[in-house]
Amino acid sequence: MPDPTTHPAPAHDTSHEHVGVMRRVYAIVLILVVLFVSGRAIQYLIVNLLVPYSPPEQITRIPSRLTEEVWKTKPDRFLGSMLAENPRAPLSHYHQIQGWFQPDPVNDCTRSGCHGPMPHSNRKETRAFLNMHATSLHCGVCHMESATEPLPLAWYNLRTGRKTEAPALLQAYGWLISEEGQAQLAEPTYQFQQRLIKLLSKAADQAAGDPTIRRLAEAVAGPRFSSPTFTGIVQTVLERLPSHFRGEYGAKLALLDERGNPLLGHPNTEATVQRFLDLRDELSPTAQVELLAKVHPQRRPDTLRCSDCHTRDSTMITLGTVGYPPERILTLQEGWIYTAIEHNKAGRPLYLPGFVAPRDEEGAATNPDLEVVPAPEP
Partner 1 sequence: MRSPWTRTERSRRAVSGLLLAGLLALGCMPQWAQADDPDNCLLCHQYRGLGRYVPEQDAIHLYFTSPDYQHARLGAHARIACTDCHERSEVSVIPHKPVSKVDCTKTCHLHNVSGVARQFSHREADRWLSLGVHNPDTLAQLEFTNGPLLNEGQAYCLYCHDEPLFRDPADIIPEYDEFSPTATERCDVCHADQIPIDTRFQVRHVASRLVHARRPLEMAQTCSVCHSDMLIRETYELQDASVRYTSTYHGKAALLGELDTADCISCHVWPGENAHAIRAARDPESITHPTNKADSCRSVNCHPGADASIGQAAVHLDLPSLTGIEIILAVAFIIFTLMTFGPSLVLTVLELFQIVIGRHVEGEERMRQLTLNVLRHPEGRERLRRITPGQRWQHWILALLFAALVVTGFPMKFADQTWSRYVIESLGGLYNARQIHHYAGTLLVFGFLAHLAHVMWGMFVQARRTGPDGKPVGVVRAVMALPMFVGPKDVLKMVQMLGYLMGLRKKPPTFGRFTIDQKFGYLGVFWGTMVLGVTGFLLWDTQISSRFVDGRIFNLALIAHTYEAFLAVIHVGILHTCNVVFAPTVFPFSPATLTGDTPVTRLHEMHSEMVIEVAKDIGVAVPPEVEHA
Q: How far apart are CA 213 and CA 236, in angstroms?
A: 12
Rule CB under 8 A: which of 45-104 touch partner 1?
45-46, 48-60, 62, 64-68, 70-71, 80, 83-98, 101-102
Residue 361 is a binding residue for partner 1 (CB under 8 A): no
Rule CB under 8 A: which of 297-326 touch partner 1?
none
Q: Which of 76, 179, 239, 302 binds partner 1 (CB under 8 A)?
A: 239
203 closest CA partner among 243, 168, 238, 232: 168
Binding-residue total with partner 1 (CB under 8 A): 115
Q: Which helix (H) or strand (E) is 37 found in, with range?
A: helix 14-50
Q: How far apart are CA 342 and CA 227, in angstroms?
A: 47
Rule CB under 8 A: which of 240-269 touch partner 1?
240, 243, 246-248
Residue 197 is a binding residue for partner 1 (CB under 8 A): no
Minimum CB distance to partner 1 smaller for 103 or for 150: 103
Q: Which of 16, 18, 35, 198 binds partner 1 (CB under 8 A)?
A: 35
Q: Which of 73, 111, 112, 135 binds partner 1 (CB under 8 A)?
A: 135
Least gap, CB of 158 to partner 1 (angstroms): 13
Alpha-carbon distances of 108 from 29, 105, 114, 294, rounded to whole Å: 46, 8, 9, 15
Minimum CB distance to partner 1 smaller for 83 or for 183: 83
Q: How far apart are CA 326 and CA 173, in angstroms?
A: 10
Minimum CB distance to partner 1 smaller for 113 or for 297: 113
Minimum CB distance to partner 1 smaller for 208 or for 304: 208
Residue 277 is a binding residue for partner 1 (CB under 8 A): no
Residue 369 is a binding residue for partner 1 (CB under 8 A): yes
Residue 340 is a binding residue for partner 1 (CB under 8 A): yes
Q: How far apart are CA 75 and CA 102, in angstroms?
A: 9
Q: Which stretch binds partner 1 (CB under 8 A): 36-44, 168-176, 261-269, 320-328?
A: 36-44
Residue 105 is a binding residue for partner 1 (CB under 8 A): no
Rule CB under 8 A: which of 113-132 touch partner 1?
116-121, 124-125, 127-129, 131-132
Minimum CB distance to partner 1 smaller for 70 or for 114: 70
Mapped onto helix, strand or coil, the DSSP state of residue 106 is: coil
In 184-256, beta strands by DSSP E? 251-255
317 closest CA partner among 257, 267, 256: 256
Q: Which of 105, 113, 209, 211 binds partner 1 (CB under 8 A)?
A: 211
- The per-residue b/e assignment along 284-302, b for 16 or more CB within 10 angstroms, e otherwise, is eeeeeeebeeebbebeeee
Minimum CB distance to partner 1 smaller for 151 or for 233: 233
Other CB atoms within a 10 A radius of the CB of residue 283 amount to: 16
Angle between helices 168-177 and 179-186 (to 10 degrees): 70
241 closest CA partner among 271, 220, 222, 257: 220
For residue 227, give the amino acid letter: S
Residue 133 is a binding residue for partner 1 (CB under 8 A): yes
Residue 216 is a binding residue for partner 1 (CB under 8 A): yes
- With beta carbons less than 8 A apart as the criterion, state whether 359 and 367 touch: no
